[in-house]
Amino acid sequence: MQYALELVGTYFFAISGALAVQNKDHDLFGVGFTGFITAIGGGSLRDILIGSYPLVWIENVNFLYAIFAGLITTFLFFPYVTKLRKTLFLFDSLGIAFFTILGVEKCLALGLRPEIAAIMGMFSAVMGGVIRDTLTNEIPILFRKEIYASACLAGAVLYLSLDHIGLVRNLNLLVSIGLIIIIRLVAVKFKLNLPILK
C-alpha cells in the first residue's frame, strides 16, 4: 500500500517537475530531464547526505518507470495537463507532505537524531524542486513561494513530537501530512508569507 503510494507520488512529482519550466522553450529532452531531476533530486540528496546507499531509484527500477510514465504522460497530454494547474497543485501538496514524512521515518529508522530527521524530511520534499530551479536559472521555489518548505518542516516537527509521545504511526502519518497540506492550502488561498527581514 505505502509502496504503491510512493510510486504514484513519484509519478506526479515527475509531471509537476516537467511542467514547472514550460515557459522556457525547453525541448522534449530538456523537459524530460527536468522532470526526472525534480523527481529524484530531493530523495537522492537526502540519501547522499546521510550516506544511505544504494539510492532508492537505483536499487528499485520501478521508481524509474514511474518517472518515465509521468514524463510520457506530460509529453502526450501536454496541452491538457497544463490546464489542470489546480489539480496538479493539489497533487504537489499531497506529494511534498507525503515525502516529507517518509523522509523523516527513514532517518528515524536509521537511528538518526530527530533534528536531522526533520531537516532531511524537508529536504526530501523540496530539494528536487530547488535543484530543478537552480539548473533552469530561476530563483528556487522556497525563496519565492508562499510558505512552502516551512510547511514541510512544521509537519516534520509535528510528526516527531507526536511520535515522541507515543502516537500510533498510521494516525501520526495522517495528522502530520494533513498539517502540511492545510498550511499549504491556507497559505496559497490567503497569499500568506513569512515575514521578510529588512
The site for a second copy (CB under 8 A) is made up of 22, 24-31, 33, 44, 48-51, 53-55, 58, 61, 64, 74-75, 78-79, 112-113, 115-116, 119, 130, 134-140, 142-143, 147, 149-150, 153, 193-198
CB of 105 to a second copy, least distance (A): 17
The angle that helices 85-109 and 149-164 make with each other, rounded to 10 degrees, is 40
Cα separation, 174 vs 181, in Å, equals: 11
Question: Of 5 and 143, which CB lies nearer to a second copy in the complex structure?
Answer: 143
CB of 91 to a second copy, least distance (A): 19
Residue pair 96/152 in contact (Cβ under 8 Å)? The answer is yes
Question: Of 36 and 173, which CB lies nearer to a second copy in the complex structure?
Answer: 36
CB of 194 to a second copy, least distance (A): 4
CB of 27 to a second copy, least distance (A): 4
Question: Of 40 and 181, which CB lies nearer to a second copy in the complex structure?
Answer: 40
The angle that helices 169-189 and 149-164 make with each other, rounded to 10 degrees, is 150
CB of 170 to a second copy, least distance (A): 28
Question: Of 4 and 196, which CB lies nearer to a second copy in the complex structure?
Answer: 196
Q: What is the dihedral of CA 151, 146, 47, 175, to 10 degrees?
A: 20
Cα separation, 198 vs 188, in Å, equals: 23
Residue pair 94/110 in contact (Cβ under 8 Å)? The answer is no
CA neighbor of 174 nearest in space, from 101, 110, 69: 101
Question: Of 140 and 175, which CB lies nearer to a second copy in the complex structure?
Answer: 140
